[in-house]
Structure 1
Amino acid sequence: MYNCIYIIDNIDIRERGNCMLQMMSISVKSLSTIGSTPKSSNHDSEMEFPQDFRCPISMELMKEPVIISTGVTYERKNIEKWFFSYNKKTCPATMQNIVNFGVTPNYTLKRLILVWQNSHSPSSSSSSSPSESFKRDEIVSLLNTLASSPFKVKSLKKLKEIIKIGDERKLDFIILGGLDVLFKLVVQVLLDCSDFAVFQACEEALGVLQHFVVSGEDDGKVIELLSQPECMKSMVIILQRGSKEARVYVISILKKLANSSFNWKVIVDDQGIGMFKSMLELASDEISTKASSSAFDLFIKILDSSKKSRSKAIEAGAMCTLIELLPDANKSKCEKILQIIKLLCECVDGRVAFTEHRLATGAVSQKMFDVSDMASKICVKIFSLICSFHPTEKVLEEMMVYGVVKKLVVLLHTSGQSSTKNKVVDMFKKHSNLWSRYPCFPDELKGYLCLHH
C-alpha cells in the first residue's frame, strides 16, 4: 500500500492530504475488490517477488502488465477498474491528471516476470534454462537469416513452429523485434508482387502473424502493425491471388482484427470491391468449411460497421452470390447468409439488388419455418424492409406466389406481442389490398384488417 504514496512532492499541502487519503482508500479497497489476498495464491505466496513485478495498486504479482500514458506499469484489470469503475482521471502512482486512458501491454516486463518465475520455481528442472536459451538463440538466428538471405520461406516455417509452442516464445519473438521483420516481409509484396519468392515469403509471414492476433486487448503491437494501410493492402492482394492456405491466414487475421473494433473505412474505400469478391469466393468454397464460416463472420462484422461497406459489397455482387448459396446452406451458414442479406437490404442498392434477382423472394421464403426461429425472424425483417421501402407490385405478387404471405398469416396468429409480429401486422396493413385480390387470401383476415371489398 505504501508504495502508492511516494509521489506527491510537488502538490500543495491541501492536495497532498487529499491525494494521500484517496490513495489509502483505494489501496484498502484493492485488497478486497481489485486484487486477491496473499492467502489465495498458493504458489505465488511462497516466493518473494521483486517489488517492480508487483502492481502499485494491489501490490500483487502482475500477470498482464500494461503501461499507461504516465509511463507507470499496472496490472490491466486493476488500472481499468481504477479508470472505469471508480471513474478516476489520475495516475494512481503519480496522481498526474490523465487525458489518454489507453493502455499498452508491457511485453518486456511480462517476459522478465515469466523468466524470474521459471528460474525460482521449485518444480523447474536444471535443464529448462539451457532449453529456453536455445529457443531464444534459434529465434535470433532465424530473424538474422530473414534479414540477410533471399531464401526466407524455410526460416519462416521454422519460426511458425517455434511460435506455436506458447506465449513465452511469442514474447521472445516480440522483444527481439520479430514483428517488425514480418511487417517488412508482408509489405514487400506491394513493391514486387510478380516475384514468386517475395509473394511466397509474404504468405508465410502472414502464417506466422496469425498466431499472434488474439484480441485487441493483449496484442496492441500486432494490431498496430496490421492496421497500417500498407499491410492491409498486402493482405488484400494475398486474399485475391494467394494460395488457399494463405487466404485462410488472411481471413483469420482480419476476423480477429474485426473483434478488436478495427476501423474498416480506409480499407473498404480503397480495396473494398476486390476484398469482398475474394471473401465471397472463399465463402462459396465447400471444401474448407472453417474458412467459409470465417468469411461469413467477417462479412457480417464489416457490413455492420458502415453503410458504405454495404454499397461496396453489393457492387462486388454479394446479393447475387448469397441468394444462390442460400438453398443448399446448412443451418449455421443459412443464418449467416440471411443476416448478411438483411444488412444489405438496409440500403437502397441492396433492396434493388434483391428485387431484381428472380430467385430472391422464393429462396428466402423457403427458409421461413424451415431452419430456426432466428432464421425465421431474419426472413421477416428482410421482407419488412422490402415492403416498407421498395414494395414493387412484382415483389408483392411474388410474396403471394411463393407462399410468403401464407407464412406471415401463421405468424399473425401467434399469441402475444413481439417486434416480429408487429412487422407482420405492418406489412398486412400496407399491402393487404393487393394480396386480398387473390382467392387464397383468408377471408377472416379481411375483417381483422378492416378491408373493404
Structure 2
Amino acid sequence: MENIDYPPDFRCPISREIMKEPVTIVTGVSYERKHIDKWFNVYKKKTCPATMQPLDDFDMTPNHTLKRLILAWRETLAAAPSSSSSPAQPSVKHGEMVSLFNALDSSPFKVTCLKKIRAIIQLGDDTRSEFVNSGGLEAVVRMLVNQTAVDNCDLDSFQSFEEALGLLHLLPLSKEDKAFQVLSKSEPMKSVATVLQRGSSEARFHAIIIFRKIAKTGFDWNQLVEDRGTDLFKSLLELVCDEICSKASSYALELLFEILASSKKSRSKAIEAGAVCVLIELLPDSNRSKCEKMLLLMKLLCECPEGRTALVDHGLGIAVVSKILVQVSYTATKLGVKILCLVSSFQPTERFLEEMLTYGAVKKLVTLLHLEGLCSTKKRVLDMLKLHGNAWRRHPCFPCDMKDYLG
C-alpha cells in the first residue's frame, strides 16, 4: 500500500515511510515520533533534519490532524478496487535506482544521488534486494573506496562517503549475503575504517554497525589490523569513551572483543594504542554490563606481558580492579580474580603485591573463600594466597585474622 500514490506530506522526512505517530517540531515540519526522537536524543542533533535550521526548542507536538488524514487515506485505499493491470512498483524503483547508480560515477552531485538511493531502500526489504541485485551495492562501494582513497578529501568527498555508510549500514551482512561478500573485501574494509577514524559522529556510528555485523560472521581481522595498526584501536577506544551514544560505546566494546579474542598480535596493538589505560579510567563509573565487557577485554590484554605491565604501571590499575571484587556481579568478580591471578603469577612485583594489600584486594580474596559456589575462582584465590602469603604477612598493613589462609 505504501508504494501507491501517496501524498508526500504523509511520509516522514527522515525515514521516507508513511507516518503512524506524526509529531511537529518548532519549524513546523512533521516527523514520525520515533525517528525525530532518535535524531535529537540518540544522535544529539540540534537542527531540523528537513531544513537544517538550528533549534533551541526540541518540543514535539502530536499532529492529530495529519494522523487523521493518513488514517482516512489508508481507509480509502483499502476500500478502492485493486487494479491488477498496474505496473509493479519494484520495476519502477529499478529504473530509478539504475539511473542513480550510473550518476554516481559521473555526477558531481554524489551526495544527492546517495540520499535518493537511501530513501528508496528504506522503503522495505524488497527495495533493499532490488538495490543489491541491480548492481547498486557495487556502485556505492566503488564510489566509497575511490573517495576515501584520496589523501586530502574536500567537504563534498567527506559528505559522500559518510552518506554511503548511512546507506550501507541498513543492509543485512550475514555470511550468505552478497553485501557481506562485497563489503568484507580488503579495500572496502579499509574505507569503512577510514570513516571510523575521520568521520562525523553519525558516520562513525554507521561504521561501527557495519563492522559489528561483519564481526558476527567470524571475520578474520588480521589484515585490517596489519594495515591500520594502532589507528584502528584508537578509533574504537574513542567510541568506547563516547558518553553521548551508549550504543556506539557498547558496540565498540563488542567489536574490540571479537578482534582481540582471535589474535595476540592484535592485543599488542591495542595495548600500544592505550587500551589498558582507557579501560582502567572508565571502569569506576560504568554500569554492570559495560563493566563486565571491559573486564573481559582487560583479561585478554593481561594475557600479554605488556598488558600486565600497563595495568601495574597505571596509578589506579590495582585499585580499580580491587574495588569491583564482590561489589559488581559474579561475572565481574570472576574476571577481576582472573586479572589479578595473571599478574600475580607472571609479574608479581613488590609494588603490585603491596597495592593488592593496601587497596583491600587481599581481604576481598579471603572473603570470596566463604561464599557459596565460585569453585574455579576459589582455586585461583587459594593459589594466590599460598604463592604470596609470606610477602603479605610481613607487610605492616597485614590483618592478623588472615594468617590462617596464608601459606
Report the TM-score, using the length of structure 1 for normalisation.
0.68
* Preserved CA contact (<8 Å) 2:392 2:398: yes
CA–CA separation in structure 2 for the residues paired with 1:330 and 1:244: 23
Selected match of 1:195 from 128, 134, 154: 154
- Could you tell me which of 188, 193, 217 is aligned with 1:231? 188
2:290 maps to 1:333 = yes
Return closer, same or farther for 1:163/1:130 CA change in 2, 3 Å cut-off.
Answer: same
Distance 2:275 2:102 in 1: 44
The residue number in structure 2 matching 1:318 is: 275
Number of residue pairs matched by the alignment: 326
Corresponding residue SS for 1:213 = coil
Q: Deviations over 1:409-451 (max 9, x none)?
A: 01122345611111111111110111122466455653454x4
CA contact (8 A) 1:258 1:301 kept: yes
How far is the alpha carbon of 1:287 from its aligned partner?
Answer: 0.8
Among residues 144, 147, 157, which one is paired with 2:102 in the alignment?
144
Of 93, 96, 114 in structure 2, the residue corresponding to residue 135 of structure 1 is 93
Secondary structure at the counterpart of residue 191 of structure 1: coil
1:33-44 equivalent positions in 2, closer than 5 A:
none
Aligned to 2:133: 175
* 1:399 maps to 2:356: yes
Query: Structure 1: 5+ residue runs without aligned partners?
Result: 1-122
8 Å CA contact 2:341–2:384 kept in 1: the answer is yes
Instruction: Give the C-alpha shift of residue 294 in structure 1.
Output: 0.8
Equivalent residue letter for 1:208: L
1:248-397 alignment to 2 at 5 Å?
Answer: 248-397=205-354
Q: Which amino acid aligns with 1:162?
A: I
The sequence identity of aligned pairs, in percent, is 53
Aligned pairs for 1:149-160 within 5 A: 149-160=107-118
Structure 1 residues 202 and 448, CA, compared in 2 at 3 Å: closer, same or farther? Answer: closer
Structure 1 residue identity aligned to 2:162: E
Q: 2:174 aligns with which of 192, 208, 215?
A: 215
> How many angstroms apart in 1 are the aligned matches of 2:88 and 2:372?
71
CA distance in 1, matches of 2:132, 2:365: 57
Deviations 1:298-324 (A, max 9, x none): 111111110011000011111111111
2:377 — aligned with what? Answer: 420
Contact 2:322 2:336 in 1 (8 A): yes
Partner of 1:20: none
Partner Cα distance (2:115, 2:145) in 1? 18
CA separation in 1, counterparts of 2:293 and 2:85? 51
Q: Which has the higher contact order (CA 8 A, sep 6+)?
A: 2
Aligned residues of 2:325 and 2:333 also touching (Cα < 8 A): yes
Amino acid at match of 2:127: R
Distance 2:282 2:191 in 1: 29
Find the counterpart in structure 2 of residue 161 from structure 1: 119
Task: Give distance in 2, aligned partners of 1:376 and 1:125.
Answer: 65
Rounded to whole Å, the distance in 1 between the matches of 2:228 and 2:236 is 12
Alpha-carbon displacement from aligned partner over 1:5-64 (angstroms, at most 9, x marks no partner): xxxxxxxxxxxxxxxxxxxxxxxxxxxxxxxxxxxxxxxxxxxxxxxxxxxxxxxxxxxx
Distance 1:416 1:410 in 2: 13
Q: Distance in 1 between matches of 2:155 and 2:322?
A: 47
Root mean square deviation, CA, Å: 2.0
In structure 2, the CA distance between the partners of 1:404 and 1:127, relative to structure 1 (3 Å rule), is farther
Residue 212 of structure 1 deviates from its aligned partner by 1.4
Question: C-alpha offsets along residues 248-282 of structure 1, whole Å, 9 cap, x if unaligned?
Answer: 11111111111011111111111020011011111
Q: Is the 8 A contact 1:206 1:250 kept in 2?
A: yes
Query: Deviation above 4 Å: which 4+ runs of structure 1?
Result: 439-445
Kindly indicate whether the alpha-carbon contact (under 8 Å) linking 1:338 and 1:378 is maintained by their aligned counterparts in 2: yes
Q: How many angstroms apart in 1 are the aligned matches of 2:106 and 2:196?
A: 27
SS of the residue corresponding to residue 118 of structure 2 reads helix
SS at match of 1:414: coil
Q: CA deviation at 1:295?
A: 0.8
Query: Is this contact kept in 2: 1:193–1:199, CA < 8 A?
Result: no
Can you give the 5+ residue segments of structure 2 that lack an aligned partner in the other structure?
1-80
Report SS of the residue matched to 1:334.
helix
Distance 1:430 1:328, change over 3 A: same
**Residue in 2 that maps onto 1:47:** none
How far apart, in 1, do the equivalents of 2:302 and 2:329 lie? 21
